[in-house]
Chain A
Amino acid sequence: MSFFTFILRNMLGRPTRTLLTVLGVGVGIAAVVMLTGISWGFERSMSAIYQSRGIDLIVVRAGVSDQLSSTLDETQIDTIRAIPGVEQAAPSLMDAVSFEEANLVSVLANGWEPGGLLIKGLKVIHGRALEQGDTRAVMLGRVLSLNLGKKVGETVSIAGEPFRIIGIYESDSLFESGGLVVPLRELQRMMGREGSVTGFVVVAKPKVDPRALGREIETKLKGTAAIPARDYVQENIQLRLARAMAGATIAVALALGSIGLLNTMAMAVFERTGEIGLLRALGWRRTRIIALLMGEAATLGLLGVVAGSLLAVVGMRGMMLSPTSRGFIDPNLPPAAFAIAALMGALLCVLGGLYPAIRASRLEPTEALRHE
């Protein structure tokens, strides 16, 4: 019999408690993995919008928390394009639309210039891209087309108006894949925001410092903020909220998991005081008693990590069944989320197992045997 067999026998001898503890730890870990995964997927999706096009700066109205609530005069693009350090610049109008028949709410609608920088960054997989002169025409992201069950050539109703689907695109960003693109003029008209955009994207010329270029734009266009793309993603309010939620969940899950494991291990020690006394009477050293109980805690933690990771994968797939999640949440969890789960499992073992293990090791054989 190996030492590990002894540990397993102890756990299998109390199957209900072992199962409940593993489930308790697993649920906490699943919550952490899912929220961390969602938060990182969100960040990755946002970064992809800008990275795939080499965008250096996002220009929005100063003081707004995100681009959706920003309003700028469309003609300011001319001032930006005239700055010597600017390679390319494009206006963007963002809004959210719903497709109630498909139970989809808050679908990202982009109004972009046909043939412009932003549209060129899309990979058209069916049909074609928007061109100058297209009216009542829309490009659907791959995920949105799947969610709506629509194909090129069909018609889709956007905010009560029929639009012809002229292309389906793929994007590295799930937000873009879950959204749609219409000509800028069309979206301005539909939303009653003629002459307005929510922001501009800017590509700096090679060797031009984007931060210096941003300061120049802000000087020339009062009331604007020209933010480096990476900073814009990092400071995005939704992303910060998602991060804060993930952080809070990790803290709560760690606390609850530790208390659960501590309770289980403390109960195991209490119930088995006589057995621990016996082991001490048979000459087991204190360190071996600690190794036994920490081994049990570690095995419970490891099983919790495996159960939690599986629950997280199933949970993410389950979330995809909800129309509100499709197109916003990336069901593929990054390896780092599982690494966090493993780290959390290890922390739980130490926090939950150490005190009962040390307490058990301090028992004198006679005192412990008397418990029976």
Chain B
Amino acid sequence: MSDPAILSAEALVKTYPDGDVKAVQGISLSINGGEFVAITGPSGCGKSTLLHLLGGLDRPDGGEVFFRGEPLARMDLDAFRARRLGFVFQSFHLVPTLSALENVQVPMFESELPRRRRAEQAKRLLDEVGLSHRGHHPPRRLSVGERQRVAIARALANEPTLLLADEPTGNLDSASESEILALLTRLRQERGLTLLIVTHGSVIASSADREIKLKDGRVVSD
């Protein structure tokens, strides 16, 4: 089911100025379209930094990231993040003053959709993640599992081809973790998504097509 490389990286380097820490040290990899890849490794090994570089949330100090063969450095990164990419965070990052339904609509401001279509699309996505009955609730009135479902619906708002998730089950209990994993797997199949997940847990890693292990900012196994 995999297509040729949708996302690749060549000799990526990222150094943080505070403490002169080399978070990523010359990583090269290639992710094929439709693949489910888990990036694993101990804390501080550079997993999240690598995901942020691959998702265009941060710029590398060296090397290059390519999306369908085109360097991200030459692309409109805002448009890339808005249209091609969905990002799910460990701590959900929902806007506290908005309802679940409104949170899902936030990325759609960068789309051409008129207001009514945005609301319809958000309802459909909440339905897809099983939260259509909780649309008008603010994040504080949702369980942590429900919050992550809203965040996943939001990541799909602009119909991306790539879904990147940074420890999406890191704040969840094991029951919720299984539910979120099942949801991501189903969405990947239904939508033909390429799924790239940073995780500590073995449950997600064992469900992935491929596991890339990092240590000290380098790939130790792929």
Contact = CB atoms under 8 A, between A and B. Distances in A.
Interface of A: 1-3, 5-6, 9-10, 12-13, 274-275, 278-286, 288, 364-367, 369, 372
B5 interface: no
Interface string B78-109: 11111101010101010111100110011101
A1 B105 contact: yes
Contact of B93 (A10, A13, A284, A369): A369
A291 B125 CA distance: 27
Given A9-B98, A284-B78, A372-B93, A279 B106 contact: yes
A61 to B, nearest CB: 68
A282 B57 contact: no
Contacts of B119: 1
Contacts of B89: 278, 369
Interface of B: 52, 55, 57-59, 78-83, 85, 87, 89, 91, 93, 95-98, 101-102, 105-107, 109-110, 115, 118-119, 154, 158
The binding surface of chain B is classed by DSSP as helix
Nearest to A372: B91
Most B-side CB within 10 Å, residue of A5, A278, A281, A285: A281
B93 A288 contact: no
The binding surface of chain A is classed by DSSP as helix
A328 B169 CA distance: 72
Given A280-B78, A366-B58, 16 more contacts: A1-B105, A9-B97, A9-B98, A13-B96, A281-B55, A282-B82, A282-B87, A282-B110, A283-B78, A283-B82, A283-B107, A284-B78, A285-B78, A285-B110, A369-B57, A372-B91
Most B-side CB within 10 Å, residue of A2, A282, A285: A282
11 contacts: A1-B98, A1-B101, A6-B98, A9-B97, A278-B89, A280-B81, A281-B93, A283-B79, A283-B110, A284-B82, A366-B52
A283 B93 contact: no
B115 A1 contact: yes
B106 A12 contact: no
Contacts of B106: 6, 279, 282
B93 A274 contact: yes
A366 B97 CA distance: 22
B110 A284 contact: yes
Given A282-B82, A365-B58, A2 B115 contact: yes
Smallest CB-CB A-B distances: 9 pairs: A283-B82, A13-B97, A283-B81, A366-B58, A282-B107, A365-B57, A9-B97, A278-B93, A1-B102
Given A284-B110, A288-B109, A366-B52, A1 B97 contact: no
Contacts of B59: 364
B97 A283 contact: no
Contacts of B57: 281, 364-366, 369
A288 B118 contact: no
A155 to B, nearest CB: 68
Contacts of B102: 1, 5-6, 9
Nearest to A10: B97
A370 to B, nearest CB: 10
